[in-house]
Structure 1
Amino acid sequence: MRPTPDTSKASDQIAIMAYLSGFVFTTLVFLVSFWYRPPDVPTVVLCTLKSTTGMDCPTCGMTRAFCALAKGEWQRALRFHPLSPVVFALFGWWWLRSLLYLLGKGNWVNRVETWFPPLLTVLVVVAGVLVSWLFKLWLQ
């Protein structure tokens, strides 16, 4: 008789890898944001929408804003993108969430996420970014 694989162990390993990946990714984002100081006006345009149409995309300025926020430059960050503190906080929560799960404190995360369900939170932030983008386009 063949032994059946323990699917619980496999799903636990996948979850650990997902949390570890999230923790490493967000840690790298914060470290790069802290060390890198981009110019206020980009010399190279990496945004495909901006380079093809000349219009800013919904997240144009977010990288520069993250770099400013990591250094505590709030006014500068808000000039780059008005919702950057919200997205920065969302990344901070992603980092903390991943760390807590890796430390076996997932029940703490569950308490917070009963008030702020992850999918709903992300959808609200994305909707906010799109609305701010449309407002920016309307003002131009």
Structure 2
Amino acid sequence: MLNRTAMMAYLSGLVFTTAVFVVSLWYRPPDVPTLSLCTLKVTTGIDCPTCGLTRAFCALAKGEWQRALHFHPMSPVIFALFGWWWLRSLLHLVGKRSWVNRVEAWFPPFLTILVVVTGILLSWALKLWLW
């Protein structure tokens, strides 16, 4: 049985990721943004490591894989992690923690996040180098 704090955390994760997926499916941003909310991009003109992820998520939600990869090369992996976060939250809420433990025995959360962040930084470094 989950305590109240854990339940609220998993419920928040489920609501947040559901909102991300619904907005990604509904919204179609322009290929070239007219307005940037990225502080690094606005102040220096240089994309940050996550620039393009919103457009990439919107493309992935519509099945447009090539567009998504064009916007951010790590987007399918990050999208899949959001999918896991959604499913993980749901499984915890319905009392199937053992299923989560089986998956996370193969893919420990800290190691998974470390690999993804390294991939994001390497893809960003390559983008800057080619720029």
Fold equivalence (TM over 0.5): yes
Q: How far did 1:123 drift? A: 1.2
The answer for the alignment partner of 1:29 in structure 2 is: 20
The answer for the alignment partner of 1:100 in structure 2 is: 91
Instruction: Trace 1:98-137 onto structure 2 (pairs within 5 A).
Output: 98-137=89-128
**Could you report, residue by residue, the CA deviation over 1:77-117 in whole angstroms, capped at 9, with x for unpaired residues?**
00000010000000000000000100111100000000101
Amino acid at match of 1:98: S
C-alpha root-mean-square deviation of aligned residues, in Å? 1.0
Q: How far did 1:13 drift? A: 1.0
Instruction: Give the 4+ runs in structure 1 shifted more than 3 A.
Output: none
**Could you report, residue by residue, the CA deviation over 1:25-76 in whole angstroms, capped at 9, with x for unpaired residues?**
0000000000000000001011100000000000000000000000000000
Q: Secondary structure at the match of 1:55?
A: coil
**Could you report, residue by residue, the CA deviation over 1:108-130 in whole angstroms, capped at 9, with x for unpaired residues?**
00000001011111111011100
Larger Rg: 1
In the alignment, does 2:76 pair up with 1:85?
Answer: yes
User: 2:10 & 2:114 partners in 1: Cα distance?
Assistant: 21
The partner residue of 1:42 within 25, 28, 33 is 33
Normalising by the residue count of structure 2, what TM-score does the alignment of the two structures yield? 0.98
Which consecutive unaligned segments of at least 5 residues does structure 2 have? none
User: 2:34 & 2:90 partners in 1: Cα distance?
Assistant: 36
Percent identity over paired residues: 76
Q: Secondary structure at the match of 1:38?
A: coil
Instruction: Trace 1:2-13 onto structure 2 (pairs within 5 A).
Output: 12-13=3-4
Which consecutive unaligned segments of at least 5 residues does structure 1 have? 1-8
User: 2:52 & 2:122 partners in 1: Cα distance?
Assistant: 15
User: 1:101 & 1:120 partners in 2: Cα distance?
Assistant: 21
Number of residue pairs matched?
Answer: 131
Q: How far did 1:17 drift? A: 0.6
User: 1:139 & 1:44 partners in 2: Cα distance?
Assistant: 24
Q: Secondary structure at the match of 1:113?
A: helix
